[in-house]
Structure 1
Amino acid sequence: MKTIFKFFLVSLLISFASCEKSEISNENDFLEAESRESIDAKGCETAFAYDKEGICFIDDDDLNSNRWGWSIGPLSAPFNGAYDIYQGAGRCDLDNGELVGTLKVSYQLDGTVSVDYEAFEGFGFYETHLFIGDEKFPRKNNGSFTVAPGQYPYGDSIPDGTDLVSYSESGFSGDIYIIAHSVVCYYEKKDDDKGDDKGDEN
């Protein structure tokens, strides 16, 4: 009898935990979908940093992908450079896109890589995904290349948007490649972000 009671109790606890986990998962899915709907409502576009010497995803023989975007590199330390950020440039065609910002990259001899996403006036970043590595693309767990932004090692979500996102990562050596993805929306700085330095009035 005690064994049956214990079995019933354990089953009840497992069922409760499963339901609670399911509710949490559903809530997270709802919040993520709600956030995505909010971003989509702002008229947002996918954007990538561009280099004329960069590797277009669609044109690379080692990558089976219909995604557009560019891998920048190889870059050797010491290096400082800036790249245009284009949104909506489907199939890597700049005529289809719009210039929305600048990506600044610094690669120091100590192995530190600093990356700044800077948006032009009227635009803001609501998501960023950044790849830095010694190969032109990141790899999936099975070893094959991927350019899905969710697979990039560094990322950020900014629900209210911003015109500046910065990363500083260390431990790199030799030649590196960079892929800088973002979700760009129309954006206006809030008054408290603009500063209140109006100069002295005498």
Structure 2
Amino acid sequence: MTTVTLAEIPQLWRAESLPSLAAECVPSGDAALDRALGGGWPRPSLIDVLCDAHGIGELRLLLNLLKPARALDASCRPIVLWLSPPHELHAIALTQYGLDPRDHWICDVSQPTDLTWAMTQALRSGACLAVLAWARQLKPAAIRTLRLAAMTGRGVGVLFRSTSEARIASAATLRIALARKEAFLEVSILKMQGRRPSLVRIDVAHMDDCLSARRP
């Protein structure tokens, strides 16, 4: 029996050889994570973040996605929309990270269908630099709609969901799972076009999030 290696098979599709469909890679601030992501966070994109705890460094990890590009027209406000965050935004923390609190808008949405609609409209409009949403009970069709809206508006949508959602397929551009292990944040890259699943450990000793006390 003759053994044939993968390299000897003609016209074999190899995912990692494909160029990224994202027009831009935004550095995460961690060299190991950037290598695993193929250069950084993809933009435009829909990022599916699976996490069971708040304040473990998840917002600090995504901070660079909330900063406007230097080339952005000065007349355009780089709006970041927060949909149903579990805690209040901390204006002082935003300022310390170089963000203008006036550019960060908050909207409470109680129903999953309303949240999907609001996020879709915000992403599709192209008026938001990023839209972050804490969601539950989203159907796969809704996630496909959100990704299309992000690509249309050339922005970034970030969905924060429970790790129990990992069993359900996601059409997001990038899907990661986060877990705090002592002084480290473990970032599991579950799905990204052109990249293999991987695990990156990040020292989060100084990763303070921008959210304060829990809402009443």
TM above 0.5, yes or no, is: no
Of structures 1 and 2, the one with the larger relative CO (CA 8 A, separation 6+) is: 2
What TM-score, normalized by structure 1, do the two folds share? 0.29
What TM-score, normalized by structure 2, do the two folds share? 0.27
Determine which structure has more spread, i.e. the larger CA radius of gyration: 1
